[in-house]
Amino acid sequence: MQQLIADLQTADAGVILTNEPLSAHTTWKIGGPADLLATVHNRDQLVRLMQLLHAHGTPWHVLGRGSNVLVSDKGVRGAVIKLAGELADARFEDGLIRAGGGYSFIKLSVLAGKQGLTGLEFAGGIPGSVGGAVYMNAGAHGSDVSRILKEAEVVLEDGEVEVWTREDLLFRYRHSVLQERAGIVTEAVFALEPGDRKEIAGAMATYKDRRLRTQPLQLPCAGSTFRNPEGHHAAKLIEAAGLKGQRVGGAEVSTLHANFIINTGTATAQDVLDLIDLIRTRIVAQFGVVLTPEVLIMGEMD
């Protein structure tokens, strides 16, 4: 690891921190230390980083804005990568939005609305990064990334750079090919339509009001815990099972929205994982439905 760190610093492959607690970088406020946390500010830095990680045989993970991820209490072996600078910026070009993989998906939807562009209103309540949204084909309110994405620039694990079209990404519900073929989205290009600014703002205000009333956004959480099974809503199943308020250690099923698990202040990753297992077991027993976690696990769990 010391030789890798020296090589990364010599190559100017980003800002390198060692043994960095990831609880400071996740919305759940949970997670042990990363062996190495690399923050890259442009594509060239990321390419050099990936080439060196590949050469050293070092495993890696990319961490967006820290939502939708559960980091192990033991931390993460290898490298964790964050995108900043040019890779966390956005610009408009003739109805297209070019957004860095590290850019806030919520902020992107707000900027689009101010430009009078419609199609991103659904993203106003999705607290992750643009890259994470592409990776998960994030969606809400009847729409998702697959409906508006034109193409994405991806840096592969050996440092090669490719541009993938919407068809290349093989989107389906909460899924893209990035979940099978490792790569990091450095830029996503979205094709939007002209719209009425007042109507866009009105729709987004309605969505925001609903979120504030129905989701525990003032507490440490990671967004929705489970995907909606076909023909069902995960939150309704969990509530029907009487699991609102159910706790394991410092992790609790929100009494406001049953598909959110909150950190009451002392939750560990194991608490959250045990609560997820309890919920899944109860839902199968009562309704015969298997819930699939939407949250990504990072690091080794017991």
Encoding tokens for residue 143? 């729409």
Q: Which of 23, 176, 224, 254 is catalytic?
A: 224
Cα separation, 72 vs 62, whole angstroms: 15
What phi and psi, each to the nearest 5 degrees, are found at residue 87? -85, 5
Beta bridge partners of 156: 183
Task: Return the axis-axis angle of helices 197-214 and 105-114, rounded to nearest 10°.
Answer: 150
What are the strands of the beta sheet with 90-93, ordered from one edge?
90-93, 96-100, 183-191, 149-156, 161-165
Counts for the chain of helices (H) and strands (E), in that order: 7, 18
DSSP 227: P
Strand pairing of 76-83 and 33-40? parallel
Q: Which of 77, 147, 174, 227 is catalytic?
A: 174
- Indicate if 199 belongs to the active site: no
- Indicate if 213 belongs to the active site: no
Question: Strand locations in the chain, DSSP E?
Answer: 15-21, 33-40, 60-62, 69-71, 76-83, 90-93, 96-100, 117-118, 139-140, 143-144, 149-156, 161-165, 183-191, 193-194, 247-248, 251-253, 261-263, 296-298
Please name the residue that has the structure tokens 């490298």. Answer: 79
Q: CB of 138 within 8 A of CB of 33?
A: no
Q: CB of 85 within 8 A of CB of 48?
A: no
Cα separation, 302 vs 297, whole angstroms: 12
- Indicate if 224 belongs to the active site: yes
Active site residues: 174, 224, 294
